[in-house]
């Protein structure tokens, strides 16, 4: 259970130019000592110490989330740094304005690293700016702009807001301290990925405007054509019609579904107080149904994207063993619910490949999720790696009922579910996964026999050495 401390006042501390903790309120001092520090010694919380060094190096006040850990719990904080003066030898002040503790035994639940992998899987990012729209924290997917390189630069120097006239619209919202809704954003360099930006203005404790906290979700839609050029009876009209789901219905459905799921999970977990057992069960069913609908929305959005002629994928340098562990981490709770053990390759090994990080992770999550769904409780799912000339391979093997020889190509067809119903699947996952694998220059195959389990193998091109 989360232990959230309602801080009446920020938890404060001071750190000198050499990283020594000069002063600390009791809560911060307790964490410092539990992490192996001593009074008047170097700040022993690595995450806080790193934030202090970054603030000094950039010569900027920073505000961002920080995760730390002691022997008993994992702590999530929102921390603000403030430089006393431009002089580098002056003390730096820390203010912790939010503090939440999670027991270590909650295993993968509420794990920030796991949450970040979910964000990367969905292509979602986050940006925090100061009052002048300078980026002070960023976590965005892809490789076009490294998150660290963006810190200190103006949001408008890093991204284009589109259409061109939208700069005025965005700046008008900022000037009036208003929320930013559905602003389309494009990276200026690299892959030039498109995102939909949502932002909330931040107000500090003195009541002054302190910047924006933005979330960025992938916008896979094709840019709208000018109305006067659209031919609703011709190819242009077909393009607009074909992209209706991704541009309008998908985003419109995700937000209310997300709220339904979040509220239902809050009720079912009884975070707001005691609740009758049957009501908690109803709420759990609502959350499960909401997640099923959200998965279907995401599958339909992906289907629309990959069937466009202009669809492309990035050629990232990835490690299939690292991706296997990330995908297993995302599904560890689901596997544990069925007493299924995930057997993974040695984390110290490497299997470099070329393919888009998010799409490769998406394929592995789909394969492991299917294996969990169709495997008996208490069984083992094995992930093993191999290579052949020019390709790196990772396989997912289960102990399920297997797939008959005549059905092994059918399962890769659109909406094909081999007569199964009520299992939460959409019949699109394997179709999308194979199309993605081929778009990355690889393949997705299956080997199986009735009552002998199945093995799905993802092959991707070997990473080209520079």
Taking the alpha carbons at both ends of the chain, their separation in whole angstroms is 48
Q: Give me the number of domains the chain comprises.
A: 4
Q: Are residues 281 and 368 in the same domain?
A: no
Is 152 among the domain residues? Answer: yes
Q: Determine the pLDDT at residue 204.
A: 66
* pLDDT range class, residue 343, cuts 50, 70, 90: very high
Distances, alpha carbon 155 to alpha carbons 158, 383, 447, in Å: 5, 41, 49
CATH of the domain at 82: 3.30.450.20
Q: Are residues 94 and 163 in the same domain?
A: no
Cα separation, 98 vs 78, in Å, equals: 5
Q: Are residues 285 and 203 in the same domain?
A: no
Q: Are residues 181 and 255 in the same domain?
A: no
Q: Are residues 329 and 454 in the same domain?
A: yes
- pTM of the full structure: 0.54
**Displacement of CA 284 from its chain's centroid (Å):** 23
Cα separation, 111 vs 109, in Å, equals: 5
Q: Are residues 254 and 324 in the same domain?
A: no
Q: What does the pLDDT average to over 320-348?
A: 89
Token pair recorded at residue 386: 């191999």
Beta-carbon contacts of residue 40 (< 8 Å; ≥ 6 apart): 20, 21, 22
Is 224 among the domain residues? Answer: no
Beta-carbon contacts of residue 121 (< 8 Å; ≥ 6 apart): 330, 358, 361, 362, 365
CATH of the domain at 421: 3.30.565.10
Q: Which residue range is the domain that position 244 belongs to?
A: 235-295
Q: Coil, helix or strand for 188?
A: coil
Angle, alpha carbons 346-350-354 (nearest 5°): 135
Is 312 among the domain residues? Answer: no
User: Which of these three, 71, 86, 104, is where a domain ends?
Assistant: 104
pLDDT tens for residues 432-461? 899 999 999 999 999 988 788 999 999 999
* pLDDT range class, residue 466, cuts 50, 70, 90: low
User: Which of these three, 80, 104, 128, is where a domain ends?
Assistant: 104
Is 310 among the domain residues? Answer: no
* pLDDT range class, residue 207, cuts 50, 70, 90: low
* pLDDT range class, residue 1, cuts 50, 70, 90: very low
Q: Are residues 152 and 209 in the same domain?
A: yes
Q: Are residues 131 and 180 in the same domain?
A: yes
Cα separation, 250 vs 266, in Å, equals: 24
Token pair recorded at residue 75: 């702590």
Q: Determine the pLDDT at residue 396.
A: 95
Query: Given a cut of 70, is residue 165 above it in pLDDT?
Result: no
User: Which of these three, 219, 250, 273, is where a domain ends?
Assistant: 219
Is 300 among the domain residues? Answer: no
Q: Are residues 24 and 59 in the same domain?
A: yes
Among 50-64, 177-191, 379-393, the minimum mean pLDDT is found in 177-191
Half-sphere exposure of 294 (CA within 13 A, CB side): 16
Is 327 among the domain residues? Answer: yes
Is 309 among the domain residues? Answer: no
Is 229 among the domain residues? Answer: no
pLDDT tens for residues 237-279? 333 344 555 555 666 676 677 778 777 776 776 655 667 777 7
Q: Are residues 42 and 72 in the same domain?
A: yes
Q: Are residues 325 and 282 in the same domain?
A: no
Peptide bond preceding 464 in cis form (omega within 30 of 0): no
Q: Are residues 322 and 446 in the same domain?
A: yes
């Amino acid at each position: 259970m989360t232990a959230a401390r309602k801080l009446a006042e920020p938890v404060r501390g001071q750190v000198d130019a050499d990283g020594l903790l000069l002063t600390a309120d009791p809560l911060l001092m307790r964490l410092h000592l539990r992490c192996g520090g001593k009074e008047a010694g170097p700040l022993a919380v690595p995450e806080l110490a790193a934030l202090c060094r970054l603030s000094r190096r950039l010569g900027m006040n920073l505000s961002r989330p920080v995760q730390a850990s002691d022997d008993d719990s994992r702590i999530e904080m929102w921390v603000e740094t403030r430089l006393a003066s431009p002089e580098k030898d002056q003390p730096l002040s820390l203010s912790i304005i939010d503090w939440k503790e999670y027991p270590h035994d909650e295993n993968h639940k509420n794990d920030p690293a796991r949450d970040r992998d979910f964000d990367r899987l969905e292509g979602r990012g986050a940006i925090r700016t100061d009052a002048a729209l300078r980026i002070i924290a960023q976590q965005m997917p892809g490789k076009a702009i490294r998150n660290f390189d963006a810190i200190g630069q103006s949001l408008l120097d890093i991204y284009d807001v589109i259409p061109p006239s939208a700069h005025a619209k965005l700046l008008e919202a900022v000037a009036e301290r208003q929320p930013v809704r559905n602003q389309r954003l494009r990276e200026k360099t690299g892959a030039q990925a498109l995102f939909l930006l949502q932002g909330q203005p931040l107000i500090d404790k003195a009541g002054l405007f302190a910047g924006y906290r933005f979330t960025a979700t992938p916008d896979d839609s094709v840019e709208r054509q000018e109305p006067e050029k659209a031919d609703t009876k011709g190819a242009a009209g077909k393009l607009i019609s074909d992209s209706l789901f991704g541009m309008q219905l998908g985003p419109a459905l995700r937000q209310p579904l997300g709220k339904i799921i979040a509220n239902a999970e809050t009720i079912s977990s009884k975070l707001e107080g005691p609740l009758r057992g049957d009501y908690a069960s109803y709420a759990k069913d609502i959350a499960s149904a909401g997640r099923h609908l959200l998965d279907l929305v995401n599958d339909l959005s992906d289907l629309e994207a990959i069937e466009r002629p202009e669809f492309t994928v990035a050629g990232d340098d990835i490690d299939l063993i690292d991706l296997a562990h990330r995908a297993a981490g995302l599904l560890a709770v689901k596997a544990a619910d069925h007493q299924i053990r995930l057997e993974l390759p040695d984390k110290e090994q490497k299997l470099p490949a070329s393919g888009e990080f998010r799409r490769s992770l998406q394929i592995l999550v789909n394969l492991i999720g299917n294996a969990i769904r169709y495997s008996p409780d208490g069984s083992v799912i094995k992930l093993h790696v191999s290579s052949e000339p020019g390709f790196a391979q990772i396989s997912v093997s289960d102990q399920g009922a297997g797939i008959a020889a005549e059905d092994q190509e059918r399962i890769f067809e659109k909406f094909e579910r081999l007569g199964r119903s009520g299992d939460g699947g959409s019949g699109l996952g394997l179709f999308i996964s194979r199309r993605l694998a081929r778009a990355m220059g690889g393949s997705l195959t299956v080997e199986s026999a009735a009552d002998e389990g199945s093995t799905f193998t993802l092959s991707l091109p070997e990473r080209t050495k520079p």
